Amino acid sequence: MNAAHTQNNCCELKQLIEAYLAEMEWNETVEIYGENMAARTCAMIGLNGHSYRLFIETDPQKHWIEVYLYSDHNISHERVSAACQLANRINRATSNGYVAALDFGEGFQYKQVMDTEGCKVSTIAIRNMVDAGFAIMDNWRSEMDLVCNSRLGLQHIDDQFGPSVH
């Protein structure tokens, strides 16, 4: 891909993120970084009394928009295995994006990538990606809390919540 095409795609994707932020009435800025001129913004968002870090990034060479959402959980090293099992269960019930359990005091991460090459993309697409991440994090919040804050395994969590699909 030539530099002019990458720069043009960078500008289009950056403008799309800026339009989304304006629609949401958020004052975050979009920065350009790296040799491939990727665009990125970050926001702290509250949902039902919990804080989430939201990152929206682009890869203009691949024509990607990426949404990352991080929970405020603290997964201890001892609970990583149970958290990974829960993330796998969540992913089996999820059709868009995926959830990962992060080690070293981090929480759960939701990630969704959209390939925009050859498409006319609107802010609705970004909103849908972000909303999907929030819905997953919110729907599975109780199970995430139990995995992180107790010594219960998934079998005990199933006893409390049932092995339901959200």
Segments making up each domain of the chain, as ranges: 3-161
- What is d(CA 117, CA 46) in angstroms, rounded to the nearest whole number? 32
Q: Which pTM was predicted? A: 0.87
Q: Is 70 helix (H, G, I), strand (E, B) or coil?
A: strand
What is the full per-residue pLDDT of the chain (166 aa) written as tens digits? 556 555 666 788 899 999 999 999 999 999 998 888 899 999 999 999 999 999 999 998 899 999 999 999 999 988 898 899 999 999 998 988 999 999 877 899 999 999 999 989 999 999 999 999 999 999 999 999 988 888 766 665 555 555 554 4
First-residue to last-residue Cα distance in the chain: 42
The 10 Å Cβ neighbour count of residue 125 is: 17
Looking at 16-136, which runs of residues are DSSP E strands?
31-33, 38-47, 50-59, 64-70, 98-101, 108-115
CATH code, 3-161: 3.30.1460.10
Measured at the CA of 18, the angle between CA 14 and CA 23, to 5 degrees, comes to 150
